[in-house]
Amino acid sequence: MTPEHFPEHLFATHDSRSIHFRNPFGARRTWEKVQIHFEISRPFERVILCYTYGLYKFSYHEMPMVPTSHDTGRYEVELTMPGEPGILFYWFSFYDIHPQTGSAQEIFYYVKPGSDRSGKGRLSRSPSRVGVSEERFPGAFQITVYDKDFKTPDWFKGAMIYQIFPDRFFRGESFDYDDMKSRYSSGERIYHENWTEDVDIDGKPETGYVACDFFGGTLHGIAEKMDYIQSLNVDLIYLNPIFEARSNHRYDTADYLSVDPILGGQTGYDALRKASEAAGIRFILDGVFSHTGADSVYFNKYGRYTGVGAYQAYVKGEYSPYRSWYNFSRDAHGTISYDSWWGFPELPNVNENDLFYKGFILGDSGVLAHWMKSGSAGFRLDVSDELPDGFIREIRKRIKQESDGEGIVVGEVWEDASNKISYGSYRDFLLGNSHDSVMGYTFRDALIGYLVGTYSASEANNLLETYRENYPPEAHYCIMNLISSHDVPRAITCLAGPSDPGDRHKQKQIQMTPDQRKCGLALMRLAYVFQLTYVGNPSIYYGDEVGMEGYRDPFNRRTYPWDHISQDGQEQLSFFKSFSTFRKANPVLKTGSYKTLTTTDQLFVFERTLSEDRKDFFGREQDGPRRIVVAFNSSTSEACHFDLECAYSDGAETLSRDQKAIYPFCEQIKGPLRISVNPLEYRVYFEV
> What gap in Å lies between CA 139 and CA 594, rounded to an integer?
27
Each residue of 80-133: pLDDT tens digit?
999 999 999 999 999 998 777 777 788 999 999 877 789 999 999 999 999 998
Burial of 353 (0-12, 13-18, 19+ CB in 10 A): exposed
User: Is the domain covering 12-146 a CATH 2.60.40.10 domain?
Assistant: yes
Largest Cα span, the chain: 94
Catalytic residue among 412, 416, 436, 544: 412
pLDDT tens string 652-686: 456 666 666 666 778 888 888 899 999 999 999 99
Q: What is the pLDDT of residue 71?
A: 74
Q: How confident is the model at residue 650 (pLDDT cuts 50, 70, 90)?
A: low
pLDDT at position 98 is: 78
Q: Which residue in 224, 382, 545, 549 is the catalytic one?
A: 382
> What is the pLDDT, as a whole number, of residue 581?
95
638: which strand partners?
none
- Tell me whether residue 412 is one of the annotated catalytic residues: yes
Domain residues of the chain, as ranges?
A: 12-146, 291-350, 592-687
Q: What is the pLDDT of residue 270?
A: 98
- Percentage of the chain exceeding pLDDT 70: 97
Virtual CA dihedral for 211, 214, 219, 225, nearest 10 degrees?
-110
Quickly state the pLDDT bin for 357 (edges 50, 70, 90): very high
Mean per-residue pLDDT, 221-228: 98
What is the per-residue DSSP string for 627-650? Answer: EEEEEEE--SS--EEEEE--SS--
pLDDT tens, position by position, 24-46: 999 999 999 999 999 999 999 99
* Interval 159-215: pLDDT, tens: 999 999 999 999 999 999 999 988 776 789 999 999 999 999 999 999 999 999 999
Cα 65-70-73 angle, rounded to 5 deg = 60
Q: Which residues of 620-635 are buried (b: 16+ CB within 10 A; e: fewer)?
A: eebebbbbbbbbbbbb
Q: pLDDT tier at 524 (50, 70, 90 boundaries)?
A: very high
Mean of per-residue pLDDT scores for the chain: 94
pTM above 0.85, yes or no: yes
Mean pLDDT lowest among 181-185, 234-238, 323-327: 181-185
474 is catalytic: no
Average pLDDT over residues 444-466: 98
- Higher pLDDT pick, 182 / 354: 354
Mean pLDDT of 414-432: 96
Residues 6+ apart with CB under 8 A from 284: 236, 237, 238, 239, 376, 377, 378, 379, 380, 408, 410
Closest CA to 688 of 579, 595, 586: 586
Mean pLDDT of all residues in 526-543: 98
Strand 425-426 and strand 421-422: pairing? antiparallel
12-146 and 592-687 in the same fold: yes
| CATH-assigned architecture of domain 592-687 | Sandwich (2.60)
pLDDT tens per residue across span 267-305: 999 999 999 999 999 999 999 999 999 999 999 999 999
Average pLDDT, stretch 480-501?
Answer: 97
